[in-house]
């Protein structure tokens, strides 16, 4: 970066004028944008990696049989709650 980008209004002769304050604000904003230019790429890359890991964990859980057992227990629990809530005998085996 050049020194012109980092110059403050106090470094110039017209430091108190509204135009110089506006120029200093725009320069500060530009420097901030330049500093954070690569952050979006890193955030997207981390998001993609996390999603891929989660999908891998879900696929592994489904293939090991643990997921099927968990799903069977969940369905049995929900059906039991429905039976107790409505006092209806549903044909499910426990």
> What are 18-68's pLDDT values in tens digits?
677 777 777 887 777 766 666 677 788 898 999 999 999 888 888 888 788
pLDDT value at 5 more than 80: no
Residue 12 is given by DSSP the state S
What's this model's pTM, rounded to 2 decimal places? 0.38
pLDDT value at 85 more than 70: yes
End-to-end, the C-alpha distance of the chain in Å comes to 72
Query: Is 82 strand, coil or helix?
Result: helix
Query: Where in the chain are the domains?
Result: 3-35, 42-86
Q: What is the DSSP string of 13-66?
A: TTTTSHHHHHHHHHHHHHHHHHHTTTHHHHHHHHHHHHHHHHHHHHHHHHHHSH
């Amino acid at each position: 970066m050049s020194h012109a980008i980092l110059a403050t209004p106090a470094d110039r002769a017209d430091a108190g004028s509204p135009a110089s304050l506006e120029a200093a604000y725009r320069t500060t904003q530009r420097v901030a944008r330049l500093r954070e230019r690569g952050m979006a790429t890193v955030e997207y890359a981390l998001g993609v990696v996390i999603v891929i890991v989660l999908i891998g964990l879900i696929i592994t859980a489904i293939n090991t049989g643990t997921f099927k057992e968990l799903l069977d227990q969940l369905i049995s629990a929900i059906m039991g709650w429905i039976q107790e809530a409505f006092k209806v005998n549903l044909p499910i085996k426990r």
